Amino acid sequence: MHRTHTCGELNINDLGKEVTLAGWVQKSRDLGGMTFIDVRDRYGITQLLFNMDEDPSLCEGARKLSREFVIKVSGKVVERTNKNPKIPTGDIEIKVSALEVLNPAKLPPFLIEDETDGGDELRMRYRYLDLRRNPVRNNLILRHKMAQEIRKYLDNQDFLEVETPVLIKSTPEGARDFVVPSRMNPGEFYALPQSPQTFKQLLMVSGFDRYFQIVKCFRDEDLRADRQPEFTQIDCEMAFIEQEDILNLFEGMIRHLFSTVKGIDLGEVPRMVYADAMKYYGSDKPDTRFGMRFVELNNLVKGAGFPVFDNAELVVGINAKGCAPYTRKQVDELTDFVKRPQIGATGLVYLRYNQDGSLKSSVDKFFNEDQLKAWAAVFEAEPGDLILLMAGPTDKVRKQLNELRLEMGTRLGLRDKNKFAPLWVIDFPLLEWDEEHARYHAMHHPFTSPKPEDIELLDSKPGEVRANAYDLVINGTEIGGGSIRIFEKSLQSLMFKHLGFSPEEAQKQFGFLLDAFEYGAPPHGGIAFGFDRLVSIFAGLDSIRDVMAFPKNNSGRDVMIDSPATISDDQLKELNIKTTV
């Protein structure tokens, strides 16, 4: 038998037991007559004791062990003289009577400790060693628990988990597809799913009614901290429902997760329409852990002769509470921040509301004290506050001020990782103007239904048509999104037409769906959550990498298995792929 117990379970109630443990050597300490070894497995750490006087050869053997050797020991559970209250096994140790090295180990390239000395790239290369460290392993344990709770909740609600194919056809969902050449069909390619969208809709046509899947999705996009080429969605679809049913059911799922996994009562998830999210936060995923809502000033600032304001479509600002004492240097820093090329603002106007009640702005030349007072009033500013204003084209200036608001939130410590502010953003626009291609795109995807009352605007003001589409946002991160779908062939065809598809193209790309809609498609809708992001929020991490067992680096490479890689000429030939090099 390799072990009678794990390294995390023995305690004072086990005194006197003869046990066998197996695991990895965490560290060893030689104290003359005694040698102590910490043996570690997934469950914890147990201290082993070897006594030179009692068994010199056994103790010599223990002294030869290095970090990460795999060992098996037998011995008796005894009480420690020097207890360690920080670990569950800290009251006991094993007085070892037999030691076996199951496998020696090379010295690992970085410390297998909570705080390691290994850089990112090195840890990715030896990911199997990194996964031995508590913080990384704990993230995967958390991920597992969350997946189980999700399955429990959805199963209780009569959802069926159905697997959909991974080798499918390229579908336009906003991102680039990963493609796989088909050997048996020369010159043709499968695509990996960006999501199982059309399949889950077809399952509704099949009568499955409530579907979910915890499923890998693939998008060939430029990578960022919260993006990986392959990632996992909690993908869901329901029939015979309305938006309200979906919001309630999945709000329930998120609440269930918070309460069972984190012991947090999330309370009711507030809702905000997209137009308000943009107006008050400049973002469709506002971080509502803090206020600092935008205040628009057009009617107070126009016509005073200050060209930046006079020429701007929108003058809008935030109140940074308590920041009036900011030094000139600090304000300059903020100006530099918004002028960075990534943000691209031309400048920042400030109004200090000093403790003594006096007002000082960077545009005193153009505005008198009464005017400045009126500004302070609309911001509900108090002495000690600092008002920051920006001006420009509406969409652009909102985006820029959103960045500044988030920066101020960070500077003021208002973005606490242990605080959770969920929010439904609803009533998204159906279409989004694409400057580059001078045409409209579906903002969510082409299967999203317009709000019935807005359909008549499709021809005249397509940009104003709202969709039955919704996102779940937590702490400024989009965690999930979905929509009520179109389920009539005529409306779906109209939609394709508005997205610039000819009837032939629509039939070629989506004929299977349009056909299915003629065989009794029920009203349906759904949502998909980014599982990796959800786990990373629960874990208090910024990156989704550390909640994945084997993630890729920023260039989309797996540096451990060294992928992607070239393939042999024979393979290429077999796949009918001609290379130009």
The secondary structure of residue 381, as a DSSP letter, is -
Give yes or no for residue 526 binding ligand ASP (CB under 6 A).
yes
Contact track, ligand ASP, 395-414, x by CB under 6 A: --------------------
- What is the Cα 171 distance to its own chain's centre? 24
Give yes or no for residue 232 binding ligand ASP (CB under 6 A).
no
Give the count of alpha carbons within 13 A of 37, CB side only: 31
Contact track, ligand ASP, 22-61, x by CB under 6 A: ----------------------------------------
What's the min distance (Å) between Cβ of 525 and ligand ASP? 8
Q: Among 39-47, 309-317, 476-484, 559-567, which window interacts with ligand ASP (CB under 6 A)?
A: 476-484
**Can you tell me the distance from the alpha carbon of 361 to that of 285, in angstroms, rounded to the nearest whole number?**
31
Residue nearest to ligand ASP (CB): 195
φ/ψ bin of 174: left (φ > 0), alpha (ψ from -120 to 50), beta (otherwise):
left
**Can you tell me the distance from the alpha carbon of 474 to that of 520, in angstroms, rounded to the nearest whole number?**
37
Contact track, ligand ASP, 534-573, x by CB under 6 A: ----------------------------------------
Contact track, ligand ASP, 189-228, x by CB under 6 A: ------x-x-------------------------------
- 565 burial level (CB within 10 Å; 0-12, 13-18, 19+): exposed
247 versus 527: smaller Cβ distance to ligand ASP: 527
Q: Among 308-316, 512-520, 521-529, 549-557, which window interacts with ligand ASP (CB under 6 A)?
A: 521-529
φ/ψ bin of 316: left (φ > 0), alpha (ψ from -120 to 50), beta (otherwise):
beta
17 versus 216: smaller Cβ distance to ligand ASP: 216
**Can you tell me the distance from the alpha carbon of 540 to that of 524, in angstroms, rounded to the nearest whole number?**
34
* E-state strands within 305-455: 314-320, 349-353, 359-361, 386-392, 422-426, 431-434, 439-442
Query: How big is the CA angle at 426 (ends 424 and 429), to the nearest 5 degrees?
Result: 145
The only residue of 99, 238, 253, 528 in contact with ligand ASP, by rule CB under 6 A: 528
49 versus 217: smaller Cβ distance to ligand ASP: 217
286 versus 526: smaller Cβ distance to ligand ASP: 526
**Can you tell me the distance from the alpha carbon of 452 to that of 113, in angstroms, rounded to the nearest whole number?**
58
Q: DSSP string covering 169-201, please?
A: ----SSSPPPEEE-SSSTT-EEE--S--HHHHH
404 versus 513: smaller Cβ distance to ligand ASP: 513
Map residue 61 onto helix, strand or coil.
helix
What's the min distance (Å) between Cβ of 250 and ligand ASP? 11
* Three-class SS of 212-256: EEEEEEECCCCCCCCCCCEEEEEEEEEECCCHHHHHHHHHHHHHH
Total site size for ligand ASP, rule CB under 6 A: 8
Instruction: Let me know: does 461 contact 419? Beta carbons within 8 Å.
Output: no
Structure tokens at 562: 């060294």
Instruction: Let me know: does 546 contact 136? Beta carbons within 8 Å.
Output: yes
Q: Among 242-250, 315-323, 475-483, 552-560, which window interacts with ligand ASP (CB under 6 A)?
A: 475-483
136 versus 217: smaller Cβ distance to ligand ASP: 217
Contact track, ligand ASP, 482-501, x by CB under 6 A: xx------------------
Bridge partners of residue 51, in order along the sequence: 34
96 versus 239: smaller Cβ distance to ligand ASP: 239
Q: Which of 322, 323, 317 is nearest to 293 (CA)?
A: 317
The only residue of 481, 516, 539, 551 in contact with ligand ASP, by rule CB under 6 A: 481
What's the min distance (Å) between Cβ of 527 and ligand ASP? 5
What's the min distance (Å) between Cβ of 15 and ligand ASP? 55
195 versus 475: smaller Cβ distance to ligand ASP: 195
Contact track, ligand ASP, 137-176, x by CB under 6 A: ----------------------------------------
205 versus 527: smaller Cβ distance to ligand ASP: 527
The only residue of 349, 388, 474, 527 in contact with ligand ASP, by rule CB under 6 A: 527
Residues that bind ligand ASP (CB under 6 A): 195, 197, 481-483, 526-528
